[in-house]
């Protein structure tokens, strides 16, 4: 009989060598249980924000797991779409109104001409495989209506990307905005405009990014009508290939209006609320490399994937021969990995007390854990 006794997840990075002792499951203290949705259009409330699975161009399994605060991750995904078409999904966190599903207290919609400020901070975890972008998606509508496809402008802000993907349309300019260097892409969909700002070079996080400065630039280029309304701000990952392990560690967005904004009338969202995504231009164009700005955290250089060999030492109660077994499944990125340690009792008697120890093959250590002690 196989009995799964417990599971530990630990984020590991290069540091001093160390070992970990897992004590009885009864001693594990969980501050907040994780919440997972595997529904293509599933949503999870996260305080004043909403996390959405938003899988709109695929039927493959995708699961989104929320832990605490504004932290969430793509816990299950293995997409495999061509990068010259639309992405499979855009799991994201948002504030405002997405297809009639509105957060509380956001102040949105706000008319662009009355937008006094809009700032955001966002920290991400990015994986070293697959094809995806790490992007904000701001939706602008001609009226403060919050239901259905916006008809104004879609502003995308690409923090980073990998796998050869690129924005819709074509690159039309370069610009220095909010202290950062951007490649500017523009395009026209059937009923809305698209303008994308691609950070050059990319990074893993923003700190106090001045979104209003980017919107003002989009107005000056004729991509945004100042009489239209900003109805929501989203931050997530457009994924073509892979996707598992992408995570949002923390996120904030704040917008204020001069003279007050418009109070939306929330309506029940439709049974499916996909965000339509354009296809991408298949051939990338070469762009110059710019000096990184201090407000952007660059992606660390890749390091060899660490390994660990666990050895179980527990004997289940009531048996003198059966031993617990332990297995580690690693999801590696540039300078760390996630270790999911599964402890299994192969015997016929329940185990009441147990411990697992292992020694790292290199200089790794535990830097964060959740749902474990």
Active site residues: 154, 238
Residue 64's alpha-carbon distances to 78, 102, 246, 249, in angstroms, are 13, 20, 10, 13
Is the peptide bond preceding residue 109 cis, with omega within 30 degrees of 0?
yes
How many whole angstroms separate alpha carbon 206 and alpha carbon 297? 7
Give the alpha-carbon dihedral of 80, 83, 86, 89, to 10 degrees: 40
Residue with tokens 């701001």: 138
How many whole angstroms separate alpha carbon 73 and alpha carbon 371? 15
Name the token pair of 372.
């474990």
Q: H or E stretch including 356?
A: strand 356-360
Q: H or E stretch including 218?
A: helix 211-220
Task: Give yes or no for a contact between 31 and 264, defined as CB atoms under 8 angstroms apart.
Answer: no
Q: What is the DSSP letter of 216?
A: H
Name the token pair of 303.
């390091």
How many whole angstroms separate alpha carbon 252 and alpha carbon 207? 10
Task: Give yes or no for a contact between 135 and 114, defined as CB atoms under 8 angstroms apart.
Answer: no
Q: Can you tell me whether residue 113 is helix, strand or coil? A: helix
Name the token pair of 252.
């904030």
Q: List the one residue out of 308, 368, 167, 336 whose CA is nearest residue 245.
A: 336
């Amino acid at each position: 009989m196989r009995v799964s006794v417990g599971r530990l997840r630990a984020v590991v990075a290069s540091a001093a060598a160390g070992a970990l002792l897992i004590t009885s499951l009864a001693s594990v203290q969980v501050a907040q249980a994780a919440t997972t949705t595997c529904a293509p259009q599933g949503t999870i409330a996260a305080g004043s924000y909403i996390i959405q699975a938003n899988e709109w161009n695929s039927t493959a399994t995708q699961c989104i797991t929320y832990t605490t605060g504004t932290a969430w991750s793509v816990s299950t995904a293995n997409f495999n779409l061509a990068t010259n078409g639309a992405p499979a999904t855009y799991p994201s966190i948002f504030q405002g109104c997405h297809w009639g599903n509105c957060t509380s207290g956001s102040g949105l919609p706000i008319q662009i001409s009355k937008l006094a400020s809009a700032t955001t901070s966002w920290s991400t975890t990015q994986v070293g495989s697959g094809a995806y972008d790490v992007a904000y998606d701001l939706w602008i509508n001609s009226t403060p209506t919050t239901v259905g496809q916006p008809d104004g402008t879609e502003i995308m802000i690409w923090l980073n990307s990998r796998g050869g993907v690129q924005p819709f349309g074509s690159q039309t300019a370069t610009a220095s905005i909010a202290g950062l260097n951007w490649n500017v892409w523009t395009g026209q969909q059937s009923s809305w405009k698209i303008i994308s700002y691609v950070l050059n070079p990319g990074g893993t996080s923003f700190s106090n990014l001045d979104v209003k400065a980017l919107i003002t630039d989009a107005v000056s280029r004729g991509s945004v009508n100042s009489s239209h309304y900003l109805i929501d701000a989203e931050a997530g990952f457009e994924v073509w290939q892979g996707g598992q392990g992408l995570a949002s560690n923390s996120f904030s967005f704040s917008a204020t209006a001069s003279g007050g904004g418009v109070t939306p009338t929330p309506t029940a969202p439709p049974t499916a609320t996909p965000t339509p995504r354009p296809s991408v231009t298949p051939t990338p164009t070469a762009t110059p490399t710019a000096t990184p700005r201090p407000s952007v955290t660059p992606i660390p250089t890749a390091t060899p994937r660490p390994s660990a060999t666990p050895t179980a030492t527990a004997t289940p109660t009531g048996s003198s021969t059966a031993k617990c077994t332990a297995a580690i499944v690693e999801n590696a990125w540039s300078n760390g990995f996630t270790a999911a340690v599964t402890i299994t009792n192969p015997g016929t008697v329940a185990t009441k007390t147990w411990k697992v120890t292992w020694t790292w093959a290199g200089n790794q250590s535990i830097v964060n854990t959740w749902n474990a002690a």
